[in-house]
Amino acid sequence: MKRRRRVIKLCVMMPLVMLLTGCWDLTGLDEKVFVIGIGLDKAEEKGKVDITYLIANAEMGSANGASSNEPSSMTITLRASDFISMKNTANSVISREISYDLLRLILVSEELAKEDDFIRFIYSAIKDREVKRTVHLIVSKEKAEDFFDKNKPLFLSRPHKYYVNMLNRGNEIGLIPESLMHHFLRITEADADLFLSAYTTTDIKKTEDKTRADENDSLAGEMRVEGVTNNSQFLGAAVFSEGKMIGTLTGVENRIAMMINDTTEVSDVISVFPDPSNEDYQVSVRVRKKQNTKVNMDLNAEPPQIHVTLPILLDVLTDPPMNNPVESKKKLENIRKGMENYMEGRVKELVQRTQKEFKADPFGWSLYGRKEFKTLKEYMEFDWMKTYPDMKVDVDVSVSLGKFGRQPKAPSYKEIRD
């Protein structure tokens, strides 16, 4: 009796297992294609955008798929009203269901990013469940369609690997900003600071001068690279104010902005500074932040004042004049002072540029500003974005010297040449 009941129970329970597959939303992996990147371009028609899909070939790179001759990715461009309806529209060409589950980046052409209407198209990102707030928002100099077509990396031909690695590494070294959709939405909605987005292009200028003070102090496409290599550059930042692109920052300027801003992290910065003891040479330095940026404000003053202290730890990695700074305190102090002045100068330049050109700051200072207010109403009335261009901003860089490379001392130049 007991046994029979158990059997009956089991028979009743078994069909329930089928429910576990999630019925309606079930799709097999082999019935889907995965879009890695979406490109947005301006269309001549109002209310429409040209949308490009970068679709990864799932068979590439898997252990047994190596023999297949299919390309690793393909692109398709259509005119659509948004990238949600595009999922169906594109199926007239693509045989399988289109999925945004592995979407890594949304690439916007500079042309579209500078439009007022751009924000209308990008906000469909928060409507679709599959588009996450962790996708990267990137700006390309040329049309996004052309970028995806032309950009054929030699290694890492599987596109998701390539873009994720490229963006993460660029982020670590600070040459491109973090530029997640999440930050874009947050900063745009808070309406106080600037959002920085990674800037990229395949449109490389051919006739650039060979010598430059700092190769990174330029925008993507301007750096001179030779050899047989990837034909795209990721360098510098596109500046967004109120959800619209208004300008660009060079790689170095972006580094400075990221260093000052505590909400972003740059972990591995090696840069080139002019040598304080000999102007003909440059030294390589590793720049690290010792602590968080200290920001003091006096917002009641007229004009409001901000005092920023940026504690920096510098490792001087080269010594081309061969004058052995470690030998004397005076030389060390000289180097320290020289570096400090140089950095302060650069920071001040950037701050002035943001005040005059962009009329808002990319440093996240409004977050510090909030502490000075008791209620949201007071904060809103103060209107950070409006007040910032007139603020008096002081930046102190306090440099302390760290290591001097593996072998701090070098033989004297004169002795060798003797």
Partner 1 sequence: MKQSEGKIGIRELMAIIMLSVGTKLTDDTPSILYSTAKNSAWMSMLLIGIVSIIPVFFLVKVFSVHKDKNLHQLNIHLFGKFVGNMVSFGLLLFGFTALVLDSATYADIISTMYFTKTPFLPIYLILLIVCGYGAKRGIEHIGSTAWLTIFYLKITLFIALLISFLQGEFKMIYPLWGPGIGEIVKTAGRNISVFADFYYLGLIAPLVSSYKSFKKGTLLAYLIVAIELVIPLIIFVMIFDFTSIEIMQYPFHEMILYISLGFLTNVETIFLPFWLIASFIRFSFYLYLVVLLFGGVFKIKEFEFLIPVIVVLVLFSGLAPKYGEFTIPHLREFFLTTLSPIFFGLPCLMLFIAKVRGDFKHEAAKESH
Q: Which residues lie near partner 1 (CB under 8 A)?
A: 19, 22-25, 101, 129, 132-134, 182, 185-186, 189-191, 262-263, 367-368, 370-371, 373-379
Q: Which is nearer to partner 1, 251 or 364 (CB)?
A: 364
Q: Which is nearer to partner 1, 281 or 368 (CB)?
A: 368
Q: Which is nearer to partner 1, 4 or 127 (CB)?
A: 127
Instruction: Count Cα neighbours of 335 within 13 Å in the Cβ-side half-sphere.
Output: 26
Question: 139: which strand partners?
Answer: 108, 199
Which amino acid type is present at position 188?
Answer: T
Q: Which is nearer to partner 1, 167 or 410 (CB)?
A: 167
251-260 helix and 329-353 helix, angle to the nearest 10 degrees: 100
Pair type for strands 269-274 and 105-109: unpaired
Tell me the closest approach of the beta carbon of residue 275 to partner 1, in angstroms.
38
- Extract the tokens encoding 126: 């928060």
Give the C-alpha separation, 175 to 210, whole Å: 20
Give the C-alpha separation, 282 to 275, whole Å: 5
Give the C-alpha separation, 72 to 55, whole Å: 9
Residues 6 or more apart whose Cβ sits within 8 Å of residue 385: 191, 192, 193, 241, 359, 360, 366
Tell me the closest approach of the beta carbon of residue 396 to partner 1, in angstroms.
20
**What is the enclosing helix (H) or strand (E) of 338?**
helix 329-353
Tell me the closest approach of the beta carbon of residue 2 to partner 1, in angstroms.
16
Pair type for strands 244-249 and 233-241: antiparallel
Q: Which is nearer to partner 1, 25 or 415 (CB)?
A: 25
Give the C-alpha separation, 365 to 374, whole Å: 17
Tell me the closest approach of the beta carbon of residue 335 to partner 1, in angstroms.
35
Tell me the closest approach of the beta carbon of residue 197 to partner 1, in angstroms.
18
Q: Which is nearer to partner 1, 68 or 134 (CB)?
A: 134
Q: Which is nearer to partner 1, 168 or 352 (CB)?
A: 168
Tell me the closest approach of the beta carbon of residue 259 to partner 1, in angstroms.
17
Identify whether the C-beta of residue 315 lies closer than 8 Å to the C-beta of residue 336: no
Tell me the closest approach of the beta carbon of residue 16 to partner 1, in angstroms.
10
Other beta carbons within 10 angstroms of residue 95's beta carbon come to 7
